A and B are shown apart, each in its own frame.
Chain A
């Protein structure tokens, strides 16, 4: 199977040709948004963090912003700093530039404030447009795709229909030589042993178990027993009887391929196949992490129906609930309820999902992308100081 893609100087392939305007910190986010609003093809990242962060939390935010800049859906980058923030603007820009794409920087305190920064930013972004807007996608093998898999707003149809169908799509992509990513560590609890035994080596399996334990420990530090409320009363009312059942429904969206490695949040895989990333169950932060890790397209299952998208990668919404497909038609792309009604098999819908992913790679815009949904959030693992 073939897709249309943009081969970047580092060899990675994107399916969009964005100019990313990345604010190093919340203080430069408004300037970034103003510039993106005036430049066709530019997208601004709504960064809420980037200052007064320490240790692993600081490293994670930096890694995420760099990863988003390096994502092959991005053709060129303008990094905008305030001038006194914690994130190191020069280091961030030069690390993104190792991917070979054009990168410009702008520091608000150096150019004289908001208006002058917007004017200078428009000039720089305009130059970037002239450098990359003419690039045309070329035929590439589907193995160049990096697909993130997400679930949110789940109901009983997620585990029965849409998640297993995504698992089929993921297995088909991996069998074709592509890359697929599963995240949401919270929703591995109770099913981590199954994921661990699918890991390529025992050590990788242990790394996965460690991430799940750390996730649980972090919740306990809040003096809350995470499992005391899992499954939730709503889950039980909906027919889910145990945490194992809930987690098993969740992990089925990554099919049955062997797990090549377990990645830190925002970390890029160093090969092809199925990868697991440490992330929270919160959808927007989970997707941001996988896209920072290089995912160029996202498939997202939802029983209840959620509208969220991503500034860098198109997000495809899949529901197994026929009522949600009708009620949330503004936001739903694929109806997987045919599995529940018996009109299609899980394998048939999985095939249909991958066919739609190819259409999206070839330029078709799913609902979230066509409606301008650009939700963004970085997973914080420590307080801000």
Chain B
């Protein structure tokens, strides 16, 4: 089975898809040496992210084994993850008042 998404670090809770995929597609990827798969809940374009674990609102989105922001909504496995349901936690002068 050709890899359809990439997971960089075993701690990541998102994968990046390597083609345009339709909702309902079973997406196969590797976490380390282990093959896993999730069913897409929405259409996801090439180069964008999907959740491979449940991510509750307020939890960090982990890619490269590091935080790339926080979830602004509860995110289900197989859901498309982008600026509609996550936000940057850095450089937020609007939130901190001081920065």
C-alpha spacing A190/B87, complex, angstroms: 13
- Contact: A155 with B18, CB < 8 Å? no
- Contact: A342 with B30, CB < 8 Å? yes
The bracket for how many chain A residues form the interface is 20 to 34
List B residues 5-43 near A (Cβ within 8 Å): 6, 8, 16, 18, 30
Residues A248 and B3 in contact in the complex (CB < 8 Å), given A241-B68, A242-B69, A242-B86: no
- Contact: B66 with A244, CB < 8 Å? yes
- Contact: A249 with B64, CB < 8 Å? yes
- Contact: B8 with A164, CB < 8 Å? yes
Shortest CB-to-CB span from A344 to chain B, Å, is: 11
B89 at the interface (CB under 8 A from A): yes
Shortest CB-to-CB span from B12 to chain A, Å, is: 11
- Contact: A248 with B68, CB < 8 Å? yes
C-alpha spacing A241/B82, complex, angstroms: 6
Contact residues in A for B51 (Cβ distance below 8 Å): none
What sequence of 0s and 1s flags, for each residue 30-63 of chain A, a beta carbon within 8 Å of any chain B beta carbon? 0000000000000000000000000000000000
- Contact: B48 with A252, CB < 8 Å? no
B56 at the interface (CB under 8 A from A): no
Contact residues in A for B64 (Cβ distance below 8 Å): 159, 164, 248-249, 252
B2 at the interface (CB under 8 A from A): yes
CB-nearest residue of chain A to B91: A227
C-alpha spacing A259/B63, complex, angstroms: 22
CB-nearest residue of chain A to B35: A342
C-alpha spacing A252/B12, complex, angstroms: 15
B90 at the interface (CB under 8 A from A): yes
Contact residues in A for B66 (Cβ distance below 8 Å): 191, 194, 244, 248
CB-nearest residue of chain B to A236: B83
- Contact: B83 with A244, CB < 8 Å? no
Shortest CB-to-CB span from A384 to chain B, Å, is: 31
Shortest CB-to-CB span from A189 to chain B, Å, is: 7
Residues A156 and B30 in contact in the complex (CB < 8 Å), given A242-B90, A248-B64, A341-B3: no
CB-nearest residue of chain B to A192: B90
Residues A238 and B83 in contact in the complex (CB < 8 Å), given A164-B8, A244-B68: no
Residues A241 and B91 in contact in the complex (CB < 8 Å), given A160-B6, A248-B66, A339-B6: no
C-alpha spacing A161/B5, complex, angstroms: 12
What sequence of 0s and 1s flags, for each residue 229-272 of chain A, a beta carbon within 8 Å of any chain B beta carbon? 01000001011011111001100100000000000000000000
A92 at the interface (CB under 8 A from B): no
- Contact: B90 with A190, CB < 8 Å? yes
The answer, among A191, A242, A249, A252, for a CB contact under 8 Å with B87, is A242
B58 at the interface (CB under 8 A from A): no
* A contacts, CB < 8 Å to B: 155-157, 159-161, 164, 189-191, 194, 227, 230, 236, 238-239, 241-245, 248-249, 252, 339-342, 346
Closest 5 CB pairs of A and B: A342-B3, A156-B47, A242-B88, A239-B47, A239-B48
